[in-house]
């Protein structure tokens, strides 16, 4: 059985500028941030990014790596509007294919099923049709004759997802409340890279009380590489291992991008963790001083 | 009017808003109530569930279906939630950055979509919601910035556009729009927005002044109904003891 483990930098070295890359998670939840940070380091750009957008989109947009975005929203959840994404949009920094959340899902399903499109009752009557003039409709061939949007397959060159545990073969389990669409991203992609909090033996995957076999979300036949990335979703949530780092997310949202990037994204993942810890110690000291003064 | 003095203070504006939101789910049956536009729709959905709409399904805001007291009764991850929309067993209450006289709603951006003056949330699920299940709206601050002649980006489909697609839009319905000033609906021959009730303390003129298009105003506009003593107790002591509703809609009833 193939051992697919690799480092984040090795995974990202298989990507190239101009590719279509799907990113798992949802908003500011279980985003493969260690892999996104590796993409930022690798200098890959001109990407078509497909995402239920959160800070993954915000960072890649701020860094000028996105040529085209396919999304229904971009949000930090507890901070509804993603400030870096917003700034990039307001300067017209990239092309946008703005579709509805359900259209997006059916586009991934079409890609995973090798279908050119799937019919969706969404978009018609809205300006989604105006801003995506390439979207086509399809009429039901049955008696009802209803017209649907023919949502095109969102086929991906590569997918990046983050789960709680994975084995070396590429089987991945999520332990939080929602799988989001990570299995679909992997199935819709030519190559999928799964980062995880911890690599464990296959037998260990389903050992925990909250780890029934139905939580085995990612199947190895869809996976090219497995990356062990503890805290790899930081600062987004990765329940039950950790919640969202709200304080750090506020810092990210409030800081000018160059300042944030210089301080936290200049080095590798190890350097990132050290920089975050240093910032956290500063905050604790600051609070301690306030408390005693 | 409620009696002055006594243990229970008079209802605040926020509490009338809660009642008006809760009423959206009356007689809805065994469907998912999806309050998304703010605190007050959430309080309203839980109030409806605890009183006159006991069959409603509620979520914890993430992937769980829960009783009003938080007991888990089901699992609804996003993938199932989006398919439940297609099945239609849901009544969502969304927010709106802009809404027009036919109920076209915008939460995506202000200005030209290509390079917006202000990027907002994005279309989210508004296109699929409005074609598949009843969609109501909650506007915490009724103003001409929100109630506009023309929205910049149609996310949620309004009645005029739905009428152009009678087959695809056969499940389209906007039961109500609740604002901090009153309740609006589309019960007019051409489905233009109509003032359905005024919250106590609000005048027709105030609503007209805060609306950027000509609103249909019937000769007699009723008042939003009073909360019962039991409902007030539930709102204040059980559902929202911290008073988050009053931060969303500050009390202007006495002004």
Each residue of A30-48: pLDDT tens digit?
999 999 999 999 999 999 9
ipTM value: 0.95
Within 8 A of A180 by CB-CB distance, chain B residues are 77-79
Within 8 A of A98 by CB-CB distance, chain B residues are 108, 113, 122-123
Q: Convert the pLDDT of each residue in B22-80 to its tens digit.
A: 999 999 999 999 999 899 999 999 999 999 999 999 999 899 999 988 899 999 999 99
> How high is the pLDDT of residue B252?
63
Q: Which residue on chain B is closest to A178 by alpha carbon? A: B77
Q: Convert the pLDDT of each residue in A79-138 to its tens digit.
A: 999 999 999 999 999 999 999 999 999 999 999 999 999 999 999 999 999 999 999 999
Q: Is the model's pLDDT at A1 over the cut of 80?
A: no
Taking the CA of residue B123 and the nearest CA in chain A, the distance in Å comes to 6
Within 8 A of A128 by CB-CB distance, chain B residues are 123, 127, 155
Best mutation target among A30, A88, A125 (most B Cβ atoms within 10 Å) is A125
Q: Does B82 touch chain A (CB under 8 A)?
A: yes
Q: Which residue on chain A is closest to B78 by alpha carbon? A: A180
Q: Is the model's pLDDT at A293 over the cut of 90?
A: no
Candidates B86, B121, B131; nearest CB to A81: B121
- Residue A13 CA from chain centroid, whole number: 18
Taking the CA of residue B227 and the nearest CA in chain A, the distance in Å comes to 31
Within 8 A of A86 by CB-CB distance, chain B residues are 118-119
Candidates A74, A130, A145; nearest CB to B167: A145
Candidates A73, A74, A92; nearest CB to B114: A92
Record: contact A181-B78, CB cut-off 8 A = yes
How many A-B residue pairs are in contact by the CB < 8 A criterion?
137
N-terminal to C-terminal alpha carbon distance within chain B: 16
Query: Which superfamily is assigned to A8-116+153-245 in CATH?
Result: Glutaconate Coenzyme A-transferase (3.40.1080.10)
Q: Convert the pLDDT of each residue in A235-255 to its tens digit.
A: 999 999 999 999 999 999 999
> Per-residue pLDDT averaged across B101-130, rounded?
98
List Cα–Cα distances, B167 to A36, A250, A293, B125, in angstroms. Answer: 43, 46, 69, 20
Overall pTM surpassing 0.90 (yes/no): yes
> How high is the pLDDT of residue A208?
82
Within 8 A of B159 by CB-CB distance, chain A residues are none
List Cα–Cα distances, A153 to A101, A187, A189, in angstroms. Answer: 14, 12, 11
> Per-residue pLDDT averaged across A133-148, rounded?
97
Q: Which has the higher per-residue pLDDT, B152 or A209?
A: B152
Q: Is the model's pLDDT at A290 over the cut of 80?
A: no
> Per-residue pLDDT averaged across A159-169, rounded?
98
List Cα–Cα distances, B12 to A174, B8, B21, B141, B253, in angstroms. Answer: 44, 11, 14, 15, 6
> Per-residue pLDDT averaged across B8-33, rounded?
96
> Per-residue pLDDT averaged across B207-222, rounded?
98
Beta bridge partners of A228: A196
Q: Name the token pair of B13.
A: 């504006």
Q: Name the token pair of B93.
A: 């209450």
Q: In whole angstroms, what is the distance from residue A165 CA to residue A200 CA?
A: 7
Candidates B113, B118, B123; nearest CB to A100: B123
Q: Is the model's pLDDT at B107 over the cut of 70?
A: yes
Residues 6+ apart with CB under 8 A from B186: B102, B103, B159, B174, B192, B193, B194
> How high is the pLDDT of residue A130?
98
Record: contact B168-A124, CB cut-off 8 A = yes
Q: Does B98 touch chain A (CB under 8 A)?
A: no
Record: contact B77-A177, CB cut-off 8 A = yes
Percent of chain A scored above 70 by pLDDT?
Answer: 98
Within 8 A of B62 by CB-CB distance, chain A residues are 177-178
Record: contact B153-A131, CB cut-off 8 A = yes
Q: Name the token pair of A99.
A: 């579709």
Q: Convert the pLDDT of each residue in A202-222 to its tens digit.
A: 999 999 877 899 999 999 999
Q: In whole angstroms, what is the distance from residue B246 CA to residue B14 CA?
A: 6
> How high is the pLDDT of residue B145?
98
Q: Does domain B13-246 have CATH number 3.40.1080.10?
A: yes
DSSP-derived secondary structure for A96-153? EEE--HHHHHHHHHHHHTT-SEEEES-STTSTHHHH-TT-EEEE-SSTT--EEEEEEP
Record: contact B127-A179, CB cut-off 8 A = no
Calculated CA dihedral for residues A106, A108, A111, A117, nearest 10 degrees: 30
Sheet with B135-139, strands from edge to edge, namely: B32-35, B90-94, B135-139, B177-179, B182-185, B194-198
Q: How confident is the model at residue B6 (pLDDT cuts 50, 70, 90)?
A: very low
Record: contact A126-B161, CB cut-off 8 A = yes
Record: contact B128-A148, CB cut-off 8 A = no
Domain edges within chain B? 13-246
- Interface of chain A toward chain B, CB-CB under 8 angstroms: 26, 53, 71-75, 80-81, 85-86, 89-92, 98-103, 105, 120-128, 130-131, 144-148, 177-181, 184
Record: contact B64-A177, CB cut-off 8 A = yes
Q: Does B163 touch chain A (CB under 8 A)?
A: no
> How high is the pLDDT of residue B42?
97
Taking the CA of residue B206 and the nearest CA in chain A, the distance in Å comes to 30
Taking the CA of residue A72 and the nearest CA in chain B, the distance in Å comes to 5
Domain edges within chain A? 8-116+153-245
Candidates A85, A125, A181; nearest CB to B162: A125
Average pLDDT of chain B? 95
Candidates A26, A127, A184; nearest CB to B154: A127
């Amino acid at each position: 059985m193939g051992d697919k483990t690799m480092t984040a930098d090795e995974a990202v070295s298989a990507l190239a500028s101009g590719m279509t890359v799907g990113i798992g998670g949802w908003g500011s939840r279980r985003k493969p941030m260690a892999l996104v940070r590796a993409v930022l380091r690798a200098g890959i750009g001109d990407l078509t990014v497909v995402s239920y957008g959160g800070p993954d989109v915000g960072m890649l947009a701020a860094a000028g790596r996105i040529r085209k975005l396919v999304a229904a929203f971009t949000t930090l959840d507890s901070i509804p509007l993603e400030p870096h994404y917003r700034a990039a949009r307001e300067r017209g920094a990239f092309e946008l294919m703005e579709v509805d959340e359900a259209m997006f899902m059916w586009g991934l399903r079409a890609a995973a099923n090798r279908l050119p499109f799937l019919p969706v009752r969404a978009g018609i009557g809205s300006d989604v049709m105006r801003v995506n003039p390439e979207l086509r409709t399809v009429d039901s061939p049955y008696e009802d004759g209803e017209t649907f949007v023919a949502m095109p397959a969102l086929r991906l060159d590569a997918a990046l997802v983050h789960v709680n545990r994975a084995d070396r073969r590429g089987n991945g389990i999520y332990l939080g409340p929602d799988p989001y669409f990570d299995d679909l991203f992997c199935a819709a992609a030519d190559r999928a890279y799964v980062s995880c909090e911890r690599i464990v033996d296959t037998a260990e995957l389903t050992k925990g009380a909250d780890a029934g076999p139905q939580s085995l979300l990612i199947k190895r036949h869809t996976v090219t590489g497995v990356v062990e990335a503890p805290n790899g979703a930081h600062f987004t949530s990765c329940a039950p291992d950790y919640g969202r780092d709200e304080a750090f997310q506020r810092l990210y949202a409030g800081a000018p991008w160059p300042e944030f990037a210089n301080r936290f994204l200049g080095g590798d993942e190890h350097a990132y963790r050290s920089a975050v810890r240093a910032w956290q110690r500063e905050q604790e000291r600051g609070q301690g001083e306030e408390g005693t003064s | 009017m409620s009696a002055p003095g006594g243990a229970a203070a008079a209802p605040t504006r926020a509490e009338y808003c809660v009642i008006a939101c809760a009423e959206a789910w009356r007689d809805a049956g065994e469907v998912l109530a999806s309050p998304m536009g703010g605190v007050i729709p959430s309080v309203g959905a839980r109030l409806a569930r605890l009183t006159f709409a006991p069959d409603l399904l509620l979520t914890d805001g993430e992937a769980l279906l829960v009783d009003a007291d938080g007991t888990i009764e089901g699992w609804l991850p996003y993938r199932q939630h989006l398919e439940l929309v297609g099945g239609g067993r849901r009544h969502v209450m969304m927010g709106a950055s802009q809404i027009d006289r036919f109920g076209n709603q915008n939460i995506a951006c202000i200005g030209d979509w290509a390079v917006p003056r202000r990027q907002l949330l994005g279309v989210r699920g508004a296109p699929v919601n409005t074609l598949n299940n009843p969609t109501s709206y909650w506007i915490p601050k009724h103003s001409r910035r929100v109630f506009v002649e023309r929205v910049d980006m149609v996310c949620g489909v309004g009645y005029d556009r739905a009428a152009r697609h009678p087959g695809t839009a056969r499940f389209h319905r906007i039961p109500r729009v609740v604002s901090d000033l009153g309740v609006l609906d589309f019960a007019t021959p051409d489905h233009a927005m109509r003032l359905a009730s005024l919250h106590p303390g609000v005048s027709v003129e105030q609503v007209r002044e805060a609306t950027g298009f000509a609103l249909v105003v019937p000769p007699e506009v009723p008042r939003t109904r009073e909360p019962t003593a039991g409902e007030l107790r539930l709102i204040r002591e059980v559902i929202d003891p911290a008073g988050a509703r009053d931060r969303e809609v500050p009390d202007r009833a006495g002004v």
